Chains A and B, each alone.
Chain A
Amino acid sequence: MDTSSPSVFVNAELLRMHVGKKVRAVVHVIQSDGEITTGKSTDEQQLIVKGLPHVSLMSYVEVIGIAESDQSIRAETWTNFGNTFDTQSYNQVCQLANGEFKGLFL
């Protein structure tokens, strides 16, 4: 049982509060050129992800990694969430997991 290294649910707005920490976010891929992937966060803002292989445009990718700045994440693990995903609900989970229900997550 090891809860020492949780990944915080973030969207673009929450990312800036966790720079330097391990975070997880779902991005809707807009551009992917091998090293840098540009995507839309679940709160409709632009996020940069570094370290992803080429991913198909318009797919949703969950990225888990270290927040390098308030706009970029360096990926350690990623999962392709497919072409359809409910970003609204995920966005609300981000807000709840950082707010009222932080204790269940971090």
Chain B
Amino acid sequence: MFSSSQFDATSAFAGGGFSFTQQTQPTDSTPSPAKSRETQGLVPVTVKQISEASQSGDEKSNFVINGVDVANVTVVGMVFEKVGRNTDVAFILDDGTGRMKCRRWMNENFDSIEMEEILDGMYVRVNGHLKSFQGAKQLVAFSVRPVTNFDEVTFHFIDCIHNHLQTKSQGEGLTPTQPQLVDTSLSTPMRNGSNGSQTAPSSQLSGQFSIDGLKSCDQLVLDYLQQPSSIGQEKGIHRDELSRQLKFPVEKIMESIRSLEEEGLIYSTIDEFHYKSTASG
């Protein structure tokens, strides 16, 4: 699966009432709050995030992103200025948020074989270690793989956002107002039923993460109806459109519509299938 985040048993969760039996991914859960994040795995980040990362100590120490030690990262972007030497191959990775230097040491045959395939202008996924060299941040890559299915690009940025939210909520500790955030990582099997897009075989991305999971269906329906384009439509939005756009089954949409209507947040217009938000936008 594309999942790259690890669930770490920090004290932030200990009192939160979330039992670890709900975990769906196997984790090497450390019994005590682990300060060392070496077990974190590859953290999906954008070059912008890397540029803003600070270092906890001297050049040899770990980088800190979002208050969390980060050593190994995964980045997706385009290769430019590839320069191959006997000892190493260097290139610039541009992911749209910034450009950074990457270097791949030619330790084994596999390294040179893999890098030979990589050309300027190609989209690649780079997995590597963040390093500081003469004041500049660099990525020492141990894996550079061309992207063949471009949904991977979309997925990567969603992954970065997901990871960002996860570390943020871990840092702040869980509050009762954030149950939906943690739902995303803990209770994915339960959400599968309600989110139609997860069962679609055509999308590899649907594995464990969906942006929709961050908000309830009610909130999504309301958000959609409060968009300027929806408000501009006199006769409102048909519930089929909501179902299509938000990728929820019509029954779920109707449930949300009913509760929103009861709250007085939306109202039906020309018939019981069209709805508008009561807010003027």
Contact = CB atoms under 8 A, between A and B. Distances in A.
Interface of A: 1-3, 6-7, 9, 13, 24, 60, 62, 64, 77, 79, 81-82, 84-86, 88-90, 92-93, 96-97, 101, 103-106
A77 B96 CA distance: 11
B37 interface: no
27 contacts: A1-B99, A1-B137, A3-B51, A6-B48, A13-B229, A62-B150, A62-B153, A77-B78, A79-B121, A79-B123, A79-B150, A81-B150, A85-B150, A86-B151, A86-B154, A86-B203, A88-B197, A89-B151, A89-B154, A89-B155, A90-B154, A92-B158, A96-B211, A104-B161, A105-B97, A105-B157, A106-B97
Contacts of A101: 161, 164
Nearest to A82: B150
Contacts of A9: 96, 157
Given A81-B150, A104-B164, A1 B51 contact: yes
Contacts of A97: 157
Contact of B151 (A3, A13, A85, A96): A85
A1 B47 contact: yes
A84 B97 CA distance: 25
B96 A24 contact: yes
B237 to A, nearest CB: 14
A77 B121 CA distance: 9
Contacts of B158: 89, 92-93, 96
A88 B29 CA distance: 35
B264 interface: no
Contact of B97 (A6, A81, A85, A90): A6
A100 to B, nearest CB: 8
Contacts of A62: 150, 153
A81 B149 CA distance: 8
Nearest 5 CB-CB pairs, A to B? A3-B98, A81-B150, A7-B96, A2-B99, A90-B154
Interface size class on chain B is 35 or more
B96 A64 contact: yes
Nearest to A84: B202
B46 interface: yes
A34 B149 CA distance: 26
A92 B98 contact: no
A51 to B, nearest CB: 16
A3 B48 contact: yes
Given A62-B150, A89-B211, 16 more contacts: A1-B99, A3-B99, A9-B157, A60-B150, A62-B153, A64-B96, A79-B78, A82-B149, A82-B150, A92-B158, A96-B158, A96-B161, A97-B157, A104-B164, A105-B48, A105-B96
A65 B178 CA distance: 39
Contact of A6 (B50, B98, B121): B98
Contacts of B46: 104-105
A93 B157 contact: yes
Interface string B133-164: 00011000000000001110111011011001
A93 B150 contact: no
A27 to B, nearest CB: 13
B247 interface: yes
B205 interface: yes
A15 B151 CA distance: 21
Contacts of A7: 96
Given A1-B50, A60-B150, A106-B97, A89 B161 contact: no
B243 to A, nearest CB: 13
B205 A86 contact: yes
